[in-house]
Structure 1
Amino acid sequence: MAMFDSLAGAVRDGDTIAHFGNPLIEQRRLAAGDALAPLGDRTVIEVTGEDRLTWLDSITSQSVARLRAGESTELLVLDPQGRVEHAAGVLEDGTSVWLIADAADAEKLAVWLQRMVFRSRVTVTLRPEIALVGFFAGGSAEARIVAAAPHGTPLVWRDPWQHVQPGGHQYADVEHHPGSDYAWSVALVDDARALSEPFAGALAAEALRIAAWRPRWAHEVDDRAIPHESDWIRSAVHLSKGCYRGQETVAKVHNLGHPPRRLAALLLDGSDVILPAPGAVVLAGESEVGHVTSSALHYEDGPIALAILSRRAPVGELLVRSEDGIDVAAAQQVIVPADAGATADVPRLTRLSRRPLGDDPRNAGA
């Protein structure tokens, strides 16, 4: 992205800055709240007009109709079968709704939104000229964002992944969810030249996301993905809001069934420092049970990954097969249990006896 062309020491991977020389040091600084991460792989969509909130509420998975200025959330766009098509962070500023989407999805999302306007009083505009910068709240990085903003009032999206959102539900059965420490924020920036060091690249930001079990459209979504399998109901789906496309599947799987796949975290054997690429096959013995969606080298945990597995995949240790055909041992942390869903207490019907009426002792003397 041209906004970040002036940043010294940046090592690029296309439009994304991968790192600034030492991804692990950058990761520590980012986690401590001291580094800023240029996000060339995200794009902003602006939605204006007096119907913007009620309109978005009616066509997406999240309840946003009463969002107030300065509040953040997250939404999904689902197809009629409940599969994830688009995802975006949501920030309302009192005049506009700012949607933060993965760059590969942003234009398609904007086109879909424009098609859905009909008679609603809204305007949808793709805003690629606005730069996005990620940071963790509470440190010096946040202070530098405020100092660089016009009038000291930056537009900042706060990732809702830290907490189960109103109307949401968490499938992960853990005492301390790693997402509770994930105070990730994204600032909208007009002039990246006003930002100051230290910086961190995408490798650092991705490692911290994976460690927090945080799903992302660019990695955890394919043409079969439903929100349940990656625990995305936690932050992006309101289970009791009004109707929207895909709601029937969301409700049915949550109340009566189980998602056919489940997200798991993998702690990889780091002895050979082999980092499997997304798409790498996950094995239980000789049986293929899923694939890696994201992987990274974490500054404390070593090689880590997220993987989408079959619901019936065993809970124990797995193997990940690298592109070179090398099998890497992987300790599994269950994120979405195999029995996730079926939360409704549906009474079972009493089975009717097939015995003839005259054989029932309760009918004696009738």
Structure 2
Amino acid sequence: MSTDSRSAFAARPGFVADPTGVAAHYGNPLSEQRGLEAGRSIVELGDRGVVTVTGPDRLSWLNSLTSQSLDHLAPGVSTETLLLDPSGRLEQAARVLDDGETTWLLVDAAEAPVLSAWLDRMRFMLRVEVADRSADFATVGSFAPNGAAEPPVPAVPPVPAAQAGDVPLVWIDPWSTIAEGGVGYADDSVHPAHDWTYREALVAPADLEALAASEVPVAGVLALEALRIAAWRPRLATEADERTIPHELDWLRSAVHLSKGCYRGQETVAKVHNLGHPPRRLVMLHLDGSDNVMPAHGDVVLDGAGPDAREVGAITSVGTHHELGPIALAVVKRSTDPTIDLVVRVGESLIAAGQEVVVPPGAGAAAGVPRLPRLGAVRR
């Protein structure tokens, strides 16, 4: 058993730490998954950070910089937004909650100082103040009670979320539906996110210690990761690289408002959605687990196992689901045939991988503008 003093839950039986110091699992990741999904347990998230923006111009300012419509965000309403570079490539992803006086940006821990510093440089003469509040709060994840349980089961006691005025600092993931102004590329009739009731609560350190000392059931981050993969839910730290545009991960579903005003990278977002296609696309893979070999982030995805097989993409996230077994998310070339089984190369091993389409090859081109022949092209 491994323990780490950075986790308030390190004394729990079976605790095994992940690289951030919180629990990867407590001895039985699959059982922990079931409890977490059903709303019976919680998960401590040590790889999360918090950035706050205060001041009367905060929402209109963030609205002008990022992909989501934020200028009229009501207190207590959860959303998410993306910060893109001028070419439309993904730089930051933030889970957003406003309390009427402060906008709370929940991000990956490594991104908090980067985002805070960048926003601080962009304030100019506006009435806003930016702060990295990561040291002031822990993040605890959970699901709504009975979200996936038959028959109903008892819920865990409420997480002692911090309050800002009358607003509990609990961000409810909007992934379960297509947001106003957004668009979903995945087939919504079969989308696994319909049962996704995930939320994150900000908890003061003293309250986290009290929560850890209670008898509340807990799960490790491996349980949450497998559930996220099964819901096709992208994450900046895993699915994105230096070339990623939001369309490739189906992130226009929840984090992009297509008819809002200008923001950095908007031209690429609109052009790809209306006139083109994303060059890559997200897929979920059902992995053959018969050899007990699991891929890792970055492992190569091939379009077959033969000598002529071509590299078509890479693994981004891997987990073992309590019902689906070994699964992964991967980003592959748009031209990859969506009907074929793929293969993942892990060292000298090849793992068969059934492909489940998230972003289809035809995503985009929403304006339906016909392609014109190139100048000088000969019609046959």
Tell me, yes or no, whether TM beats 0.5: yes
Deviations 1:56-115 (Å, cap 9, x if unpaired)?
Answer: 101000001111111010000000000000001001111211111011222111111111
The one-letter code sitting in structure 2 at the alignment partner of 1:192 is L
Aligned partners of 2:99 and 2:167 also within 8 Å: no
111, 123, 139: which one pairs with 1:132? 139
Q: Which amino acid aligns with 2:138?
A: A
Residue in 2 that maps onto 1:12: 17
Q: What is aligned with 2:268?
A: 249
Counterpart for residue 341 of structure 2: 317
Aligned partner of residue 248 in structure 1, secondary structure = helix
Q: How many angstroms does 1:141 deviate by? A: 5.3
Equivalent residues in 2 for 1:157-176, closer than 5 Å:
157-176=171-190
8 Å contact 2:162–2:202 — kept in the other structure? no
Q: Give how far 1:302 is off.
A: 0.4
Unmatched 5+ stretches in structure 1: 353-366
Q: What is the match of residue 378 of structure 2?
A: none
Whole-Å Cα distance in 1 between the matches of residues 129 and 166 of structure 2?
A: 27
1:184 corresponding residue in structure 2: 198
Inter-partner Cα distance in structure 1 for 2:374 and 2:210: 72
Matched, 1:272 2:277: no
The CA deviation at 1:176 is: 2.0
Residue 356 (structure 2) pairs with residue 333 (structure 1)? yes
- For 2:233, the aligned partner's letter is R
User: Is 1:51 aligned to residue 51 of structure 2?
Assistant: no
Give the 3-state SS of the residue equivalent to 1:175 in structure 2: helix
Residues 59-138 of structure 1: matches in 2 within 5 Å? 59-129=65-135, 130-138=137-145
Counterpart position of 2:39? 33
1: CA distance, partners of 2:276 / 2:371: 15
Is residue 6–residue 193 contact of structure 1 (8 Å, CA) maintained in 2?
A: no
1:345 pairs with 2:359: no
Q: Which moved more, 1:15-24 or 1:298-307?
A: 15-24
- Whether contact under 8 Å (2:301, 2:313) holds in the other structure is yes
Following superposition, the deviation at residue 154 of structure 1 comes to 3.3
Question: Contact between 2:10 and 2:23, CA under 8 Å: does it hold in 1?
Answer: no
Please state how far the C-alpha of 1:265 moved relative to its aligned partner: 0.4
* Preserved CA contact (<8 Å) 2:7 2:23: no
Structure 1, 290-299 or 186-195: larger mean CA deviation: 186-195
Within 1, Cα distance between the matches of 2:122 and 2:11?
Answer: 39
Tell whether 2:170 aligns with 1:156: yes
Structure 1 residues 149 and 259: alpha-carbon distance in aligned structure 2, compared to 1, 3 A threshold: closer
The separation in 2 between residues aligned to 1:330 and 1:337, in whole angstroms, is 17
- SS for the counterpart of 1:54 is helix
Q: Residues 348 and 272 (structure 1 numbering): CA distance in 2 closer, same or farther, change over 3 Å?
A: closer
Higher deviation after alignment, 2-11 or 171-180: 2-11
Match of 1:261 among 280, 295, 300: 280
Query: How much has 1:127 moved relative to structure 2?
Result: 1.1
Q: Distance in 2 between matches of 1:152 and 1:54?
A: 22
**Cα distance in structure 2, aligned partners of 1:319 and 1:256:** 31
Inter-CA distance 166–48: structure 2 relative to 1 (3 Å threshold): same
Q: For 1:97, give the aligned amino acid.
A: T
Partner of 1:220: 239
**Count of residue correspondences:** 350
**Contact residue 84 and residue 91 of structure 2 kept, 8 A:** yes
Residues 193 and 343 of structure 1: CA distance in aligned 2, closer, same or farther (over 3 Å): same
Deviates more, 1:131-140 or 1:69-78: 131-140
Distance 1:7 1:173 in 2: 44
CA contact (8 A) 1:70 1:91 kept: yes
1:306 aligns with 2:329: yes
Amino acid at match of 2:18: D
Cα distance in 2 for partners of 1:109, 1:215 equals 19
Deviation of 1:5 after TM superposition, in Å, equals 5.4
Q: Find the residue that maps to 2:158 and give its secondary structure.
A: helix
- SS, match of residue 144 in structure 1: coil
Matched residue of 1:81: which SS?
A: coil
Alpha-carbon distance between aligned partners in 2 of 1:334 and 1:49, rounded to the nearest angstrom: 43
Equivalent-residue separation in structure 1 for 2:74 and 2:156 (angstroms): 22
Distance 1:241 1:298, change over 3 A: same
- TM-score, length-scaled by structure 1: 0.91
Distance 1:349 1:319, change over 3 A: closer
Distance 1:348 1:317 in 2: 31
Distance 1:152 1:273, change over 3 A: farther
Q: Any gaps of 5 or more consecutive residues in structure 2?
A: 147-153, 376-380
| Maintained 8 Å contact 1:273/1:303 | no
SS of structure 2 residue aligned to 1:4:
coil
Question: Does the 8 Å contact 2:37/2:143 carry over to 1?
Answer: yes
Contact 2:112 2:134 in 1 (8 A): no
Q: Please say if 1:287 is aligned against 2:315.
A: no
Please state how far the C-alpha of 1:153 moved relative to its aligned partner. 6.3
